[in-house]
Amino acid sequence: MIKANVNYNLRAHATYIRNTLRYRATRFLVIFSALMYAGFATLSLMSALTNNKTYVEYIMFIVLFFVIFLVSVGRLLALNPNKQYKKYSERYPNANYEIKISDKDISIKIDSDYFKKNAVYDFSKISEAREFMGYFILSIANDEQILFCGNDLTEGTAEEVKKLLISKLGKNYKTRERWI
């Protein structure tokens, strides 16, 4: 039996937010639209200088990618971990998690000033597990996630967690050294 007591903090929340598909897709869209905007602006400028002619299609693409860029930056700013954590800590003040991992299931007990929850998940419900900078992020089939740090373990070690998750999840266990 492996146990962890988690005191959810800003660093854990930032790790969680940056691991979501929404954040990664939005960040990709910001980078992609900025590159496309710069590319079409350069292409338009070069064609205007060489041909003394401006192509309407280039201008349309420049405006399109600039608008996509602005909307994406707005969404990325809305996903700011500091703002999100402030909302979370106001909603669930003094939240503490107790996680127990056995050979057959994972149980989680959430206790805060306004919210209490007990849940047990069989390993078949875990769609994937990721390890990043000492954090373990378990994605559950119903779009929930369990996040804990190796330092939060009260019984067992991070290596034991890793071995157990690899044996139970196989290729659905992933390790990431840094964010791309």
The answer as to whether 88 is a domain residue is no
Comparing 88 with 105, the larger pLDDT belongs to 105
Query: What whole-number distance in Å separates Cα of residue 138 and Cα of residue 147?
Result: 6
pLDDT for 178 equals 52
Average pLDDT, the chain: 85
Q: How many domains does the chain have?
A: 2
The answer as to whether 15 is a domain residue is no
- Range of the structural domain that residue 59 is part of: 21-78
pLDDT more than 70, % of the chain: 97
pLDDT more than 90, % of the chain: 23
Measure the CA angle with vertex 80, ends 153 and 99; round to 5°. 20
The answer as to whether 87 is a domain residue is no
Express each pLDDT in 105-123 by its tens digit: 999 898 888 778 898 999 8
The answer as to whether 159 is a domain residue is yes
The answer as to whether 14 is a domain residue is no
CATH number at residue 116: 2.30.29.30
Torsional sign, CA 86, 142, 152, 173: negative
Indicate if 168 and 110 belong to the same structural domain: yes
